[in-house]
Amino acid sequence: MADLKERNKLVAAEEKRLSSLFSEIAEDKKKVVSGLITQAARLKILLDEMWIDISEKGDYELFSQSENQPPYERERPVAKQYNSRDQSYQRVIKQLTDYLPEEEREKASKAAKDGSDLL
């Protein structure tokens, strides 16, 4: 996982990307959505880091309650967190998209979800 300085750089770059994707939001709504953009950027970076961990170590691990019991497979906590954060990310992107003018909504939503740089 990235250290705090590196993570902050990644978040800033993602905020910039999202700000450009959602630049068509009306000026009177910009202050409202700035927090959503920041939160979406943070979630995206965390999701990317978690995805690397899950890709390398898998979704499941052997776990045992005690030394006397045989281990069993259980979902790793990071996999559960990933699913929860992914849902949060999707909700934030939906909120941002709802602030766009109608004609821009579909393009921005698709670009934000697939990581495209331009609309």
Give the confidence band of 2 by pLDDT, cuts at 50, 70, 90. Answer: low
* pLDDT tens digits for range 62-111: 888 888 999 889 999 999 999 999 999 999 999 999 998 877 777 766 66
Task: Please check whether residue 52 lies inside any domain of the structure.
Answer: yes
How is residue 105 written in tokens?
């909504």
Task: Please check whether residue 18 lies inside any domain of the structure.
Answer: yes
Task: Please check whether residue 54 lies inside any domain of the structure.
Answer: yes
Is-above-0.85 flag for pTM?
no
Task: Please check whether residue 91 lies inside any domain of the structure.
Answer: yes
Question: Residue 96's closest CA among 116, 85, 110, 83?
Answer: 110
Print the domain residue range for 92. Answer: 4-114
The answer to whether the beta carbons of residues 58 and 76 sit under 8 Å apart is yes
Domain count, the chain: 1
Q: Which CB contacts under 8 angstroms, 24+ apart, belong to 78-83? A: 78/50, 78/53, 78/54, 79/54, 81/50, 82/47, 82/50, 82/51, 82/54
pLDDT recorded at residue 115: 65
Task: Please check whether residue 119 lies inside any domain of the structure.
Answer: no
pLDDT recorded at residue 112: 65
Query: pLDDT at residue 50 above 90?
Result: yes
